[in-house]
């Protein structure tokens, strides 16, 4: 168990799913958690269950003003931001490119890619001021390989990988690590946005023959948030169960 005593961790999408599992593990290590989520009621419930001074903020990561306000609220309430795990995201609908709704494509990119930019941009100044930080952006194996009938999701997650590599290099001279993970599918509420055909397709591509467990994702992500991860930055860590070949 890594020791996060005295540290403050922001977890976007932290009310449930991978973000929720990460919040649990960081809290178990002693961190105080700021649960940033679009679902305010669920975020409040999660923060209450975490305890230890954890608190919730309703955040729409696609809205820069909303992210700015949450970052300021977090700094006012907790005085610092040491860790950020950016797990907020959506899958969107499944359709071939010629049938894909233009507005839907833009919405997915706004949340998954622009949202990642907004959250990272908002927290970097506070980390630089303290000379320390750990950021983990949750991408997807779809960002490496591209899933058919999921062009918006695949493109947005590929963008998260490229963005992470860029920011990691920008901050390489600081004790601020910026990495991302590329999970295969896990059984979360994001499945509600997908067709059964697409879910079956994703499972068929995983050599381990099963979906990712939330605790498995959290274990890798939380190590990337620790002081032990003192050298690696701008990197992509695979969580695809053998699917990805690079």
- Which active-site residues does the annotation give? 153
- Picking from 48, 28, 44, 26, the residue whose alpha carbon sits closest to that of residue 36 is 44
Q: Which of 54, 52, 37 minimizes the C-alpha distance to 119?
A: 37
Q: How many H-runs (helices) and E-runs (strands) does the chain carry? A: 9, 7
SS3 174: coil
Cβ atoms 34, 58 nearer than 8 A = no
- Are 93 and 116 contacting, i.e. CB atoms less than 8 angstroms apart? no
- The DSSP output letter for 110 is I
Q: Which residues contact 59 (CB under 8 A, 6 or more apart)?
A: 12, 36, 37, 38, 66, 67, 70, 88
Helical pair 17-28 and 40-50, crossing angle rounded to 10 deg: 20
Cα 186 from Cα 40, distance rounded (Å): 23
């Amino acid at each position: 168990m890594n020791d996060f005593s005295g540290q403050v961790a922001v977890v976007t999408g932290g009310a449930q799913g991978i973000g929720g599992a990460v919040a649990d593990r960081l809290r178990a290590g002693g961190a105080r958690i700021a649960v940033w989520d679009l679902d305010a009621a669920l975020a409040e419930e999660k923060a209450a269950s975490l305890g230890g001074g954890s608190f919730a903020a309703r955040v729409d990561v696609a809205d820069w003003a909303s992210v700015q306000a949450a970052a300021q609220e977090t700094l006012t309430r907790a005085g610092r931001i040491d860790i950020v795990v950016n797990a907020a995201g959506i899958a969107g609908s499944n359709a071939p490119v010629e049938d894909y709704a233009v507005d839907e494509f833009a919405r997915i990119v706004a949340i998954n890619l622009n949202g990642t930019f907004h959250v990272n941009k908002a927290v970097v100044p506070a980390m630089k001021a303290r000379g320390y930080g750990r950021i983990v952006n949750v991408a997807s194996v779809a960002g490496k390989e591209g899933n058919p009938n999921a062009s918006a999701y695949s493109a947005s997650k590929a963008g998260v990988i490229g963005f992470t590599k860029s920011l990691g290099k920008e901050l390489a001279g600081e004790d601020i690590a910026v990495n991302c993970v590329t999970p295969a599918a896990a059984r979360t509420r994001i499945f509600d946005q997908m067709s059964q055909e697409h879910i079956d397709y994703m499972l068929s591509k995983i050599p381990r023959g099963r979906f990712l467990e939330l605790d498995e994702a959290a274990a890798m992500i939380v190590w990337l948030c620790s002081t032990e991860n003192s050298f690696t930055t701008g990197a992509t860590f695979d969580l695809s169960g053998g699917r990805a070949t690079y």
